[in-house]
Each structure stands twice: as structure tokens, then as C-alpha cells.
Amino acid sequence: MPSAEPAPVPSDLPVPSDLPGPQVRLPHSWDEARARAYNCVVPLPAHSVSLDQGIGRILAQDITALQDIPHYASSAMDGWSVAGSPPWIMAQTGLRLTAGQAAPVVTGGLIPAGAKAVLRSESGRLSRDEDGLPVLVLSESARPGEPKGGQHIRRPAEEASAGEVMVRSGQRLNPVHIAVAALAGLDEVRVLGQPAVKLVFTGDEVVSAGLPGPGQVRDTFSPQLAAVVRMLGGSVLEQQRVADNLAAMTAALEDRVEDPADVIITTGATGRSSVDFLRAAVAGLGGTMIIDGIAMRPGHPTLLAEFPDGRLLVGLPGNPLAAMMGLLTVAAPLLARLGSRELPALGEVFCGSPIPESPGRTRLLPYRLVYGLASPTKFADSGMLRGLAAADGVMLVPPHGAKMGGTVTAIPLPWQLP
Ligand SMILES: Nc1nc2c(c(=O)[nH]1)N[C@H]1C(S)=C(S)[C@@H](COP(=O)(O)OP(=O)(O)OC[C@H]3O[C@@H](n4cnc5c(N)ncnc54)[C@H](O)[C@@H]3O)O[C@H]1N2
Ligand code: MOO
């Protein structure tokens, strides 16, 4: 007898589409999802790091000179510290000079008290006076009037006075700023918090080298995601591949002391079929969904969840372009807020071709600017990357489409930002 009940779905097979098609309303519009990702967290606290760890970080406190820089008068030339007019007799090193005395000095060396100038070695020569005593005289190559008062002496506080601000808070620190911090007398700098990110890639069919066989695909995430996450302000702690099963994903998402990530970004397994185990792993670890599906294409399965210990998870779809669009929509604002930065600015472009409606979803289309007009690139299906590689930005086409010549919002690409 045929049963009235539907046949049970074997647990190892994908459930046929209960994923959102055009008829299913996804919980968040693109704008809502982006705002939610920014607003669901607070900035990580500022902290002190050693100077070498400070490069590239954003300064959370002015760098102030702890003493005068330089803090003593020093010579800018190899030669002699001198007082009064030539000839000079040699004084004992370390003692105060009186008029008519000189003492040898090297570049950077301490200028003795009483010295009025430095005579560089080319401009002086050792000689003897009428009594046969050694004296320093001007050489033939000395310039007229040399040495002038204060010549070749680096005065104290010439570069900064004690207490003077040398680098302002808010500055992204380059290597020279770090050298200035050392000059100011600091051993550490206080910087804004920076989210630490762990990347977790799924896909048993994914191969990381060579040519993939039938049913396999070459990994397009590990070569690029860490770099893009860094451009978005995250520091990448590690990248990990996990097998396509619940236990492996659960283990990768568990909190570990040796792996203190603020944010975990996963790729793949975002579908709602029984083989897509990401949601099950999040639920099993007591996680809460903050964003579970976005009315956008590609990238609609992108999710954002929070674990009970405060760690965040961004789940990106496995399709390569969809993942990048999820990254720009959810990870970019999340990392910006955690790192105390503004919500990344959006731009506007003029649309170079009419784009038909697509009810219920925002389309994210990589575009190229041609004569000032933005035209969608080719090769921009969800599973492709060529279109994004060639793009000048990504257009946000609203559900009702766009007219040729009309303005549309555009997301700048992280690798094209100044
Ligand atoms: N019945 C339905 N099926 C699917 C729907 C739907 O609405 N109904 N949506 C499709 C869309 S849209 C997306 S996006 C994907 C999301 O799938 P997952 O996040 O579960 O991703 P996977 O199934 O693991 O992989 C999808 C695709 O991506 C390839 N992939 C994965 N990792 C990599 C990598 N490192 N490098 C290159 N390519 C990768 C993987 O081989 C698959 O081809 O679901 C659709 N299905
Ligand atoms: O919309 Mo899926 O997210 O095509 O890639």
C-alpha cells in the first residue's frame, strides 16, 4: 500500500531545494545585513604592542617625546670642538673648553661645555707654535669665516622638545613612525584593537595544487582570502582545511586557547541540505544566528553567527564569486567596527547598460568603467572569478533594476583603495 506520508530523505543526501529561490523572502536586505554586521559588535579594546608589532596598526595615543631630541649637543662632523679663535691648543677630553682651546670630536659625539663650534677635519690641521707646542690651525681648505658660531653643532631639542607630540593618535603606523617612537624613548606603542581572524575552508573536492581531476576543483580561496582579510583590517592567525563533516567543522569552530581568533571565516557548507553541516555545527556549539541569509545574488547563503564566548563566525558560500560578495557585505563592516573604523564608504557610478529587474534581491555585479560608464563584466556567474579580477568595483543593482545612464551604488574593491 502506498503511504500517504512522504518518503523519508536519507540523511546523507542533499534535501532538494528548500534553499531560497525567488519566491522565498530572505530575512535581510543587503543594506540591513551590512548595517547589522557593523552594529552587532563593539570595537575591540586598544592595547600596547612592542614596536616591531606596531607597524601597520593604528595609533591609539599620541607619541610624545619623553625627553629633548637630541637630548645633548652633538657634533654633525668629525673634527674638533673649538672655543674662541685659532690657533687652538688641545684641551683634556671631557673638560670645559675656554677660549683658544679645542678637543677632538667625532660625528654624533658629545660637545664639551664651553665649545662654540665644530671645525670639521678638512678645515683644520695640527701644527706647532713658535715654542714647538702642538696647536690646531685652520687648513688651506677652510672656508672664509670658518668655523661660524654654532657651526656643525646639533643643538638639544632641535627635532623635538620633551613633551612635544611627534605622531598623532589615529595615524596608521609606517616603519618610520615606529623609528620615531623609538627616538621618543618608547618601547611599546598603544594601538587600536585589530580583529584576529581564522580561516576555515571546506570542500573534499577541492585540491590546492596542480590540475584538478573530474569532480575536483582547484582551491581559489587559500590564495586570496587571507590577503583580502588583511586589506579589510583583520590579522590572519591561521588557515585551515577541514573535511566535509560535522565533527571536523565542530572541532574547527571550538574555542581553543592556542588559537585566540575574534572572528572565524568559513567557506562552503552554507547550504541547507543535510550535507551542509555549518549551521548544525553552529547550533551544536550554542551559537546564535545574527544574519541567516541575505536578499542578494550572488552570495545569498552568507551567514553571521555569534558563539556564547563572543567569537563571531562569518559563513561564506562555497561558490567563489558568491564568497567574495559575502565577504564585502558582511566581513568588511564587521572587521571595520571591531577595528574601530568607519563603515566602509560606498560610491556611485553611472550605469552603462539597462539592467532588468530581479524581484526581491539586490544583485552585486562586478563592473568595468568604460568612458565613465559602469558596465557589468563578463564571467561573473556565482562560480566564476574572471569578471571580478577584471573589475573596477561592484555595482549594487536594486531589485527593480537600473536604467542606462542612471546612478547605482558601488562598492569599492579593497585592493583598489588608496
Ligand atoms: N537546491 C539548491 N541548491 C543550491 C542553492 C539553492 O538555492 N538551492 N543555492 C546555490 C548557491 S546560490 C550557492 S552560493 C551554493 C552555496 O553552497 P555552499 O556554501 O554549501 O557551498 P558548497 O556546496 O560547499 O560549494 C559550492 C561550490 O563552490 C565550490 N567550492 C567550494 N570551495 C571552493 C574553493 N576553495 N575553491 C573553489 N571552489 C570551491 C564547490 O566545489 C561547489 O562547486 O549552493 C547552491 N546550491
Ligand atoms: O547566490 Mo549563490 O550565493 O549564487 O552564489
Q: What is the DSSP string of 171-215?
A: PBPPHHHHHHHHHTT-SEEEE----EEEEEE--TTEESSS---TT
Q: Which residues contact 256 (CB under 8 A, 6 or more apart)?
A: none
pLDDT at 32: 96
> What is the CATH code for 347-416?
2.40.340.10
| pLDDT over 50 (residue 49) | yes
Higher-confidence residue of 376 and 129: namely 376
User: Which atom of ligand 2 is nearest to 383's Cα?
Assistant: 5
Residue 324 pLDDT level (bands cut at 50, 70, 90)? very high
Interface predicted TM-score (ipTM) over 0.95? yes
Angle at alpha carbon of residue 166, lines to 161 and 169, rounded to 5°: 140
All structural domains of the chain with their residue ranges = 30-44+194-338, 48-68+159-191, 74-154, 347-416
| Protein residue with its CA nearest to atom 3 in ligand 1 | 17
Residue 9 pLDDT level (bands cut at 50, 70, 90)? very low
Share the mean pLDDT of the chain.
Answer: 92
pLDDT at 276: 74
pLDDT at 223: 95
Burial (0-12, 13-18, 19+ Cβ within 10 Å), 270: buried
Domain 30-44+194-338 has CATH 3.40.980.10: yes
In the chain, the percentage of residues whose pLDDT exceeds 90 is: 87
Q: Identify the architecture of domain 74-154 in CATH.
A: Beta Complex (2.170)
**326-341 mean pLDDT:** 97
Q: How far apart are CA 241 and CA 416, in angstroms?
A: 28
Tens digits of residue pLDDT in 240-297: 999 999 999 999 999 777 668 999 999 999 987 767 799 999 999 999 999 999 999 9
Identify whether the C-beta of residue 261 lies closer than 8 Å to the C-beta of residue 253.
no
**146-168 mean pLDDT:** 96
| pLDDT over 50 (residue 15) | no
Higher-confidence residue of 93 and 124: namely 124
Q: Cell digits for 325?
A: 560578495
CATH class, domain 48-68+159-191, is alpha beta
| pLDDT over 50 (residue 200) | yes
Q: 326 CA to middle of ligand 1, Å?
A: 13
Tens digits of residue pLDDT in 69-92: 999 999 999 999 999 999 999 998
| pLDDT over 80 (residue 21) | no
Q: Which residues pair with 289 in a beta bridge?
A: 305
User: Which atom of ligand 2 is nearest to 297's Cα?
Assistant: 1
**213-239 mean pLDDT:** 96
| Protein residue with its CA nearest to atom 30 in ligand 1 | 318
pLDDT at 259: 67
pTM: 0.84
Q: 148 CA to middle of ligand 2, Å?
A: 76
